[in-house]
Amino acid sequence: MTQNTRRAVLRALPLAMVSALALAAPLAAQQEPVTIGYAVSKSGPNATGAGITTIPNYELWVKEVNEAGGLEMPDGSRRPIEVVEYDDRSTAEDLVRAIERLATQDKVDLILPPWGTGGNLAIAPLMDRFGYPQLAVTSVTDMAPEFAKRWDRSFWMLGGGHDYATALVETLSAAKEAGTINDKVAMISVADGFGIDLVKAARPAFEEAGFELVYDESYPLGTSDFAAILNEVQGSGADSFVAFSYPPGSFGVTKQAMTTGFNPKVFYIGVGGAFPIYGKIAEGKQEGVMSIGGVNADSPEIAEYFAKHTEVIGTPPDSWASAITYASLEMLEEAVKRVGLDHEALASELSTGSFDTVIGEVKLEDNQLRKLWWVGQWQGEHFVAVSPADQTGASAPVIPKPEW
């Protein structure tokens, strides 16, 4: 990179938008605010995911905390939250610069994580260097156990590629054994840390389960035209189509499948399949589509959270990482109440404590959240969890899916 390019990047980095939300209690206004910073994708290819899963939950949580008078401290006092936020423009370079600025110039009390696996991996060394706890809530990586040891103030909340891939294979294996689908699978994956982790786990899992991978290709991040890929997949003879994709790919491949009349018995996509806007992408024909994640649609806490999110934000949350993101903020809030803002004490409390959250009681295992939903499916108006099948709240998968 030339010196001119470096200067251009620095000039292009958006100014922080600093805002203090209205306070409900007059006493809170007299307290020194807690500054919370984050850099997240408000533009670029990651903006869809960040704008559905991450940003709304940050805004909802800050609003609720400030309306209650602020974050409660161990002495019972409350301090309002003041937010410092940056647009990382979906680039690791801008994200890293913004995190450095939050830590060294803005000197915020806490830093919330960006959206996505790549972004969280990019900032993990920085967060460790500056001593901030990192709640990597939207990061799927099989390296989570190693990262938790390397950076002992990092917390990995969304499992690993192996978890999601093997759960999907188990779900499809049951359908194969029942004679519902054949043993052929067509698989594509985004050439990013997320896609690489999942496909690396899926290949041996499919082979061990007796499936034949008749198509196995990756595509670059940002790809929007899937015509050539689906033309090849349609002639493969596979009953099951699997895409380990980010939202642009999940939406693009859905549109292309509908346009070409591609109707496999199993249509599985990655991030974005559980988004509330997926129904519009699929023109109301999302029934039976499988994806990553899911929620217990019968949970009163989940129902209350969905209603609250919809009322405040104007749209419902996604049915996978949104609730986990909100739960991570509840954990942070409770940890601050117990031990204050000292980063070492906060990290210790997050690592060892138990927390009552929207997804139930949470206690991390070696700095990782392990009780998660791995596979979900659109059934009626809801994206419901189907795996682990033995977990309370799981729905039975419907295979084959109806035609578009």
Every domain of the chain and the residues it spans: 3-159+321-363, 161-297+374-387
Give residue 220's pLDDT: 93
Q: Is 316 left (phi over 0), alpha (psi -120 to 50) or beta?
A: beta
Please, what is the Cα angle at 15 between 12 and 19, to 5 degrees? 155
- Per the CB < 8 A criterion, the answer to whether 46 and 115 are in contact is yes
3-state class percentages of the chain: helix first, strand second, coil last, to nearest 5:
40, 20, 40
Looking at residues 343-352, what average pLDDT do you find? 98
pLDDT tens digits for range 105-140: 999 999 999 999 899 999 999 999 999 999 999 999
Closest alpha carbon to 341 in 131, 156, 152: 131
Helices (H) and strands (E) in the chain, counts: 15, 17
| Fold match flag (3-159+321-363 vs 161-297+374-387) | yes
For 217, the enclosing helix (H) or strand (E) is strand 212-219
Tens digits of residue pLDDT in 307-329: 999 999 999 999 999 999 999 99
Distance CA(199)–CA(201), nearest Å, equals 5
Query: CA 384, 385, 390: angle at the middle one, nearest 5?
Result: 140
Whether the per-residue pLDDT at 14 is higher than 90: the answer is no
Query: In sequence order, which residues have a C-beta less than 8 Å from that of residue 182 and are 6 or more positions away?
Result: 176, 237, 238, 239
Q: Rounded to an integer, what distance in angstroms lies between the CA atom of residue 309 and that of residue 306?
A: 5
Fold of the domain built from segment(s) 3-159+321-363 = Rossmann fold (3.40.50)
204 to each of 29, 143, 208, 341, 373, how far by Cα in Å?
57, 18, 6, 44, 21
- Could you tell me how many residues make up the chain? 404
pLDDT of 221: 86
Q: Look at the pTM and tell me if it is higher than 0.85.
A: yes
Query: Are 248 and 271 spatial neighbours (Cβ–Cβ below 8 Å)?
Result: no
The model's confidence at residue 159, banded by pLDDT at 50, 70 and 90, is: very high
Phi and psi torsions of 61, nearest 5°: -65, -45
CATH architecture of 161-297+374-387: 3-Layer(aba) Sandwich (3.40)
- The answer to whether 57 and 87 have CB atoms below 8 angstroms apart is no
